[in-house]
Chain A
Amino acid sequence: MDMAIKVLITDQERTFAEALAARLDAEEDIEVVGAVQVRTPGPWLFAATSADVIVVDGDLPDGAANRLCAEASGRAGVSRIVTLSSSSEPKRIVDAIRAGAAAWVRKDQSLQDLLRVIRGVARGETWLPPSETGKVLQLLLQEQDRRREYGRLVASLTPRERAVLSCLAEGTGHRDAIAKQMHLSINTVRTHQQNIMAKLGVHSALEAVALTRDQWGSLSPDGGSPR
């Protein structure tokens, strides 16, 4: 037989964590390495255990579950995370996926469902509640459409306009600073800005920058620029 799947369970409620641990441990192919009651799980979880799968309470305050997922996805060979939640709001599921969660299970799903998901994610699979999968996909498709639309808009800018936009996005600041940097007159920069705003369909330079940031925000490697 293959090696047992090592599972770590965390939940806000101790009784729940322990009951779940006892039940999962009864499965032949699952070994519960710990059941902890936590309100703020941190990276110490990875250091403390060698779990293949961590079951995390998705209803922890302040998005703690997603932070943990993000933490896990930045490491090699680290546990995969199953989010267990009483909610199945598509938006929250999307956020969890983006953070790197491998599965989302509703607390009112059957234990059989949870077992199947745990075994699945241990094999590298990804599981969402089938009743919500359609809505989750629709949300993602809409986002993708918006991103493409933005790509098209940017492609309609002239090179000069793009340069001005990237100056704005970099925070070069006022028109006069941009004008100086690009060796243009302030009036020319203003004209470029007006054209950019018209092409992007926004009403202020700030909106244009916000739109650009939204789409590009996640590009830098450590969330910040390495300069």
Chain B
Amino acid sequence: MAVRLFILLQERTFADALAIRLEGELDMDVVAALHAKAAPPRLFTGSMVDVVLLDGDLPGHAAFRLCEGISHNPKAPHVILLSHSADPARIVRAIRAGAVGWVGKYESLDRLIEVIHGVARNETWLPPGQTGQVLRLLLGGSDREQDGGTKLLSALTDREREVLVCLAEGNRRRDVAKHLHMSPNTVRTHLQNLMGKLGVHSALEAVALTRSQLDDELAQRRVMS
């Protein structure tokens, strides 16, 4: 049976061209091809759709919101996001919103067609080049919005980072001082500064917040040494 498609993209030419091209595939059927600069508050695809191709670059978080709205329904169609971006943090958000496919707008049409067929069979397709980073984000738990993909740790000085890593290893402040050859007062100052930068109120929170990145840092050190 043909895969029934619903297309919503920002650019009209893109939506139309894609619809015509996919309609040309023997086993695909384009039910609707819409274009919208601003996202509608909700998208009703009806029950006659198997796969939704949704613009992942809609302003704000509209794509994720729409995706959530569609995927909410248990008999919902499978959603593939099309985007210029391949930011792993955005991909993770899309997955959380229920998307089962992410295809770069710069990728080949063959790739898109392969992904459409795949998700219609209940598969999940991510860009292989970003899959590793997506998995690492999930393993480390740092796709929180406020991170925005930027490194929290980059705000810290080398010394502050050393103090944090030392604490993360389970040392008490007193031992941190001994380890790093500082006075306990210096450790306290570093700690206060780094907590301020991270916006947390305790050393434990600082460690919890930066855990995944500390892991990276520790792993990197291991590689370099």
- Confirm or deny: B223 has a beta carbon within 8 angstroms of a beta carbon on chain A: yes
Enumerate chain B residues within 8 angstroms of A151, measured Cβ to Cβ.
Answer: 205, 208-209
Enumerate chain B residues within 8 angstroms of A127, measured Cβ to Cβ.
Answer: 128, 131
> Which B162-184 residues sit within 8 Å CB-CB of chain A?
168-172, 175
Q: Are B141 and A221 in contact (CB under 8 A)?
A: no
Q: Are B126 and A133 in contact (CB under 8 A)?
A: yes
Distance of A89 from chain B, by nearest CB (Å): 16
Enumerate chain B residues within 8 angstroms of A102, measured Cβ to Cβ.
Answer: 132
Cα-based distance from A222 to B131 in the complex (angstroms) = 26
Q: Are A74 and B223 in contact (CB under 8 A)?
A: yes
Main SS class of interface, A: helix
Q: Are A130 and B118 in contact (CB under 8 A)?
A: yes
> Chain A contact residues (Cβ within 8 angstroms of B): what range?
35 or more
Enumerate chain A residues within 8 angstroms of B132, measured Cβ to Cβ.
Answer: 102, 124-126
Q: Are B122 and A134 in contact (CB under 8 A)?
A: yes
- Confirm or deny: B42 has a beta carbon within 8 angstroms of a beta carbon on chain A: no
Enumerate chain B residues within 8 angstroms of A76, measured Cβ to Cβ.
Answer: 223-224
Enumerate chain B residues within 8 angstroms of A144, measured Cβ to Cβ.
Answer: 138, 141, 143
> Which A197-227 residues sit within 8 Å CB-CB of chain B?
215-216, 218-222, 225-227
> Which A124-156 residues sit within 8 Å CB-CB of chain B?
124-128, 130-131, 133-134, 137, 140-141, 143-144, 147-148, 150-151, 154-155
Q: In the complex, which residue of chain A has the Cβ closest to the Cβ of B136? A: A97
Distance of A74 from chain B, by nearest CB (Å): 6
Enumerate chain B residues within 8 angstroms of A226, measured Cβ to Cβ.
Answer: 169
Enumerate chain A residues within 8 angstroms of B215, measured Cβ to Cβ.
Answer: 218-219
Enumerate chain B residues within 8 angstroms of A43, measured Cβ to Cβ.
Answer: none
4 new A-B pairs (CB below 8 Å) besides A141-B96, A144-B143?
A97-B135, A98-B139, A141-B138, A157-B204
B contact set with A: CB distance below 8 Å: 95-96, 100, 118, 121-126, 128-129, 131-132, 135, 138-139, 141, 143-144, 168-172, 175, 202, 204-205, 207-209, 211, 214-215, 218-219, 221-224
Interchain Cβ contacts under 8 Å between A and B, 25 examples = A74-B222, A97-B135, A128-B131, A130-B123, A130-B124, A133-B123, A137-B124, A150-B208, A151-B208, A157-B204, A162-B202, A162-B204, A166-B172, A215-B211, A216-B168, A218-B215, A219-B170, A219-B207, A219-B215, A220-B168, A220-B218, A221-B169, A221-B221, A225-B170, A227-B175
